[in-house]
Amino acid sequence: MKKGENLSKKIVLLTGSGHHPGTSEALADAFERGALAAGHQVVRFNAGDVPVDFLKLAADQTVLPSQDQVATTVLPQVLAAEVIVLVTPLYYFGMTAQLKAVVDRFYTYNHALKDKQCVLLATAHRGPEAFATLRSFYRQFTQYMRWESLGEVLADTVRTPAELGDWPAKAEALGRHLT
């Protein structure tokens, strides 16, 4: 057994699609199944379903307060988590605006959020090359945040959950074998 394996981790799954039942949702479900089976704790927020305030700054660059669900529940969970899982369909080569609105809200806590672990789950209807920009973003973003990536599952050529093939099994295995 590798060092750290099978220790229970606090995981926050952030999804970003309003498509239900959807392909990215199915990857999130599978990852959650695997993580729960391995004894991890999982909380989940779907930015695709719940209105999220955009980050707003005052003239002096301080962040203006918000009382939405991201402020009251999600950000405290993200701060307490060991693993952040970003789950998105590809929208014009990037993550959805809904999920990005949550990520932008991390701004207040850039320093406090350092040293987390993270995972990227994504779906797209084009081939694997469609993920180039998202992968590049993920690499730079995680480096900037000082996060360690535990893996990516990028399911290409899918529009509906029925087309997912063995991608959910890969997401489940990743959730089950976090180290």
Q: What whole-number distance in Å separates Cα of residue 21 and Cα of residue 42?
A: 20
25 is an interface residue for ligand FMN by CB under 6 A: yes
Query: Does residue 137 bind ligand FMN (CB under 6 A)?
Result: no
H/E stretch holding 136: helix 132-145
**How many residues are listed for the chain in this entry?**
179
Count, residues near ligand FMN per rule CB under 6 A: 18
130 is a contact residue toward ligand FMN (CB under 6 A): yes
The torsion of the CA quartet 19, 25, 26, 28, rounded to 10 degrees, works out to 170
Is residue 129 a contact point for ligand FMN (CB under 6 A)?
no
Minimal distance, residue 89 CB to ligand FMN, in Å: 3
Residue 98 binds ligand FMN, judged by CB under 6 A: no
Going by C-beta distance under 8 Å and a sequence separation of 6 or more, which residues neighbour residue 161?
21, 22, 23, 25, 26
Closest CB to ligand FMN among 9 and 100? 100
- Name the one range near ligand FMN by CB under 6 A: 37-45, 51-59, 91-99, 112-120: 91-99
32 lies in the site for ligand FMN, by CB under 6 A: no
How far is C-alpha 144 from the chain's CA centre? 16
Phi, psi of 94 (to 5 degrees): -130, -170
Residues binding ligand FMN (CB under 6 A): 17, 19, 22-25, 89-93, 123-126, 130, 158-159
